[in-house]
Amino acid sequence: MSYGNFFLMKDSVIAEVLGELGVGVDYFLDRGLVRYVDVVADELVVVQVDDDGREHELVAVAAVAWEKMLKAAMGDGVELLMVSAYRSVARQAEIVRGKFLRGLSNEEIFSVSAPPGFSEHHTGRAVDISTPGYAALEEEFEESVAFRWLCENAGAYGFSMTYGRGNPYGFLYEPWHWCWLGG
């Protein structure tokens, strides 16, 4: 399969899901969201395997930075848990479709989830982080020592919290979502 056909296939998945929801791509572009293309599978490396066998993958440069940051946090007595990392366009479509089928409105869905094709997770550079004693993917994470540590140290490893309070993309505050932007 050529890269051109691969991208067209991904675009058709995006168009199909957004069509089911009755919303066009322009809605997200007008919000300032960036269109991301899935990374090629052989660019990803497994950085963590959960007890249930679920693999979490990042691109190599982000994986190295994550490992360094994880080690530094552990050295400071802070435990960072990876909840989610790379997510394909197809997987993002499943997540969004599932929320729609549960009866959530588009406004509810797209305030907490990026539409397929617009998630930083497609790049293999984004991680959702938790720590013991805190519910995963909940705002309460901001009260943790791990969050404070990330705010003070993550930038040194190239990670940034991209969906802060009042972010321009229309997403609710996500203190757990950090993306490797380089550094």
- Tell me, rounded to whole angstroms, the distance of Cα 3 from its chain centroid: 23
pTM greater than 0.95 (yes/no): no
**Which residue carries 């729609």 as its tokens?**
100
Spans of the chain below 70 pLDDT: 1-10, 183
Nearby residues of 141 by Cβ (< 8 Å), 6 or more positions away? 129, 130, 131, 134, 135, 147, 175, 176
| Residue 24: predicted pLDDT | 87
Whether the CB-CB separation of 144 and 57 falls below 8 Å is answered with: no
pLDDT tens track for 75-100: 999 999 999 999 999 999 999 999 99
CATH of region 3-180: 3.30.1380.10
CA separation for the pair 107, 22 (Å, rounded): 12
| Residue 7: predicted pLDDT | 40
CA separation for the pair 7, 179 (Å, rounded): 23
DSSP string, 11-74: HHHHHHHHHHHT--HHHHHHTTPPP--PPPGGGEEEEEE-TTS-EEEEEHHHHHHHHHHHHHHH
